[in-house]
Amino acid sequence: MAKKVSVFSSKDELLDQALQLILETAQSSIQKRGLFTLALAGGSTPQPLYKKLSQTNQAWEHWHIFWGDERFVPSTHLDSNERMAREAWLNQVSIPPENIHALDTNFDTPKDAAAANESKLKAFWNLESGQWPSLDLVLLGMGDDGHTASLFPGTEALQVCDHWVTVGNKDDNPRLTLTIPLFNNAQTIALLVTGGNKNAVLKEILMNESGTVKYPVELIHPQGELLWMLDASAGRDLI
Ligand code: 6PG
């Protein structure tokens, strides 16, 4: 895995660069294999990026959209990552509905939802038993506690290595999340991190040469590239 840390002068410049990364990865994936598989981050950082995507013209029929995690709320709920991405981007472009693989939360329990969504993803990827899908590009964020997706410090989700989807927990609020091994089988992962409140944890992580793992995001090691994309306040004094 190659790691690259970039600090951009503003959040808007970071997101413009992230847009270029997405479009370039899409073009090369579609050229190579006829489709582009992209997993979206939730939270507030990526929303303007999804807006930028809605203003471009792509071969959307070759794009397949996934989510790295989802809050255990209806897709109409204000906290829904699916709702945020659909409103900012997906409702504005002609990606075929069947290419949008949202994490469905319409189940009695988060556990049932995780199992059902895993089956749905396995049906789409249609791999041999024991094989893991390799997403072309994964977008992730990071919280100021070093969580990523819905993989929070000290939770069982961090240990799950035999499932594609599991239940995450943020302060007893259940979530659905792709698992560490699924993320790590991706070709490229871009960590989009903004805000001075994340600078201290970022310094600890990016200067950590001990090999020990303190934060969930330190478990993220894609097959190809890990791109840390920071704005000036998150990346202050880092390079
Ligand atoms: C979510 C995200 C979560 C997010 C981080 C950063 O569902 O909220 O998956 O991991 O990326 O909490 O959030 P911000 O981008 O809002 O700082």
Chain centroid to Cα 42, Å, comes to: 7
Average pLDDT, the chain: 97
Which residues have a Cβ under 8 Å from the Cβ of 170 and sit 6 or more positions away? 147, 150, 152
The pLDDT of residue 205 is above 90: yes
What ligand 1 atom has the least distance to the C-alpha of 41? 9
DSSP 196: G
Alpha carbon nearest to ligand 1 atom 10, residue: 149
Q: What's the pLDDT at 239?
A: 75
Q: Give distance in angstroms: CA of 32 to centre of ligand 1.
A: 31
Number of helical H runs and strand E runs in the chain? 6, 10
The pLDDT of residue 1 is above 90: no
Give the HSE-up count for residue 86: Cα atoms under 13 Å, Cβ half-sphere: 16
What is the helix (H) or strand (E) element at residue 47, kind and residue range? helix 47-54
The pLDDT of residue 119 is above 80: yes
Tokens representing 239 are 């390079």
pLDDT in tens, 49-102: 999 999 999 999 999 999 999 999 999 999 999 999 999 999 999 999 999 999
**Could you tell me if the CB of 110 is within 6 A of ligand 1?**
no
**Could you tell me if the CB of 117 is within 6 A of ligand 1?**
no
